[in-house]
Amino acid sequence: MAAPVAKGDELELEVDSLAFGGNGVARLDGYVVFVRRGLPGDRVRARVTKVKRRHAEALATEVLRPGPERVDAPCAHFPACGGCRFQDLAYEAQLEQKHLQVRDALQRLAGIAEPPLEPILPCEPEIFHYRNKLEYSFTSTPEGPALGFHRAGRWDEVLEIERCWLTDELGNGIRGAIRAWAREEGLEPYSQADGSGYLRHLVVRQGRNTGQALVQLVTAPGERFETGYLVDVLRRFPEVRSIHWSINDTPSEVTNLPTRLLWGDGWIEEELCGLRVRVRPNAFLQTNTAMAERLYALAREAAGLTGDETVWDLYCGIGTIGLSLARDALTVWGIEVSEESVACALENAELNAITNAAFFAGNVGEVVEELLERSGPPGVVVVDPPRAGLAGKALRRLGRIGAPRLVYVSCNPTTLAGDIKALREEYGYELRRVTPVDMFPHTPHVECVALLERDG
């Protein structure tokens, strides 16, 4: 049967819910239309942008009647900026929608009719200015080089940002200083369209509990600026302790690159979970420090350590979860694919005088059997995989090893649910509880901590 709409059609729609990823859901006689910028309860005028047999996609061009949970967004760049999706949705409604999406994933994808789902943990102490890391892109404006984020839904256009509500005054100040420096130096932003230009990205990382900052500039090849002057500009901020420069000679928009240290230490330090940890430019650390502490506290509680357990910390990053567990474990063994993150984890163990934790670089799916020979059977396995979830080989090998307790820290409810289904149906695990955590207000993203147990 042909779709009841065509691309370019203007429709009036009632939005009744949110889909995973943040688009509103409307229906035309049962035919689903996903509406970008549509919120539950809204009546909108929308333009159809894509048509498929079972659904269409549309962009809300006018809110004819706002829903009861629609609010005014504080950011002047919303909704054009792609950094936030939900500044115009009341925070309690954001929490409700995220909780519903986790429940839906567990029911629909894990096949659990009544999942053991705990209340969502809200972001505290504040729902703005929470990010400890932001990556900006350079762009050209009539006034000269500028910095910002991609426009919503566009990867070929960057929107200049004057003030970002996800960072603090220091983060905004550093970005402003680099913009002024780029204009003074007459440097040209890189063009993704034809590969011309020079300035590509700016990365700012902050230790929110130490007041330290790390700055990384990414350019095209060539040294077209005086590095000493860039250092002088950034040292006007006493919080800046580490300044790096990276070269990207590919078309890809990446910042995870080798760095040249221009000034300071090669790292900054952060304090969380009673630990002092070092963070280098390419090392992974949760980008909301305050909520990372609450996330890791949930993982510690789920691990239920008595002091006799061998713990595996897989996809361990810079070791924060494993090191926070080490005080209550017999031994901790961490695996992480990033050698830079493993170097940080080893440094962090030494920095905190933790002697019962070891960390190794490797692909989890490839090295867990070797780890089993080294450590013996684990009593508790903690996994914190990327958005794609546990790779097939990693899941199969962990399932066969069969640790009695598995703590799964997830940044994607859909892959979490799929992995839970496999662990339950193929390897005899039972899901005890799932706790959603709102690490990223005003975005569709939600973290979860799940506890699975297996008898025998």
Q: Please give the structure tokens belonging to residue 90.
A: 């009341």
Beta carbons within 10 angstroms of residue 376's beta carbon: 11
Angle at 115 between CA 109 and CA 119, to 5 degrees: 115
Return d(Cα 234, Cα 226) in angstroms, integer: 13
Catalytic residue (choose from 84, 344, 411, 448): 411
Looking only at the bridges linking them, the beta strands covering 331-336 and 310-314 are parallel
Q: Is 411 a catalytic residue?
A: yes
Count CA atoms within 13 Å of residue 431 on its CB side: 27
Q: Please give the structure tokens belonging to residue 260.
A: 């040249």
Return d(Cα 440, Cα 121) in angstroms, integer: 11
Beta carbons within 10 angstroms of residue 211's beta carbon: 13
Count how many residues are written for the chain. 456
Q: Please give the structure tokens belonging to residue 386.
A: 């990327």
Nearest to 243 by CA among 336, 181, 313: 181
Return d(Cα 36, Cα 39) in angstroms, integer: 9
Q: Please give the structure tokens belonging to residue 318.
A: 């810079």
Task: Give catalytic residues, as residue numbers.
Answer: 411
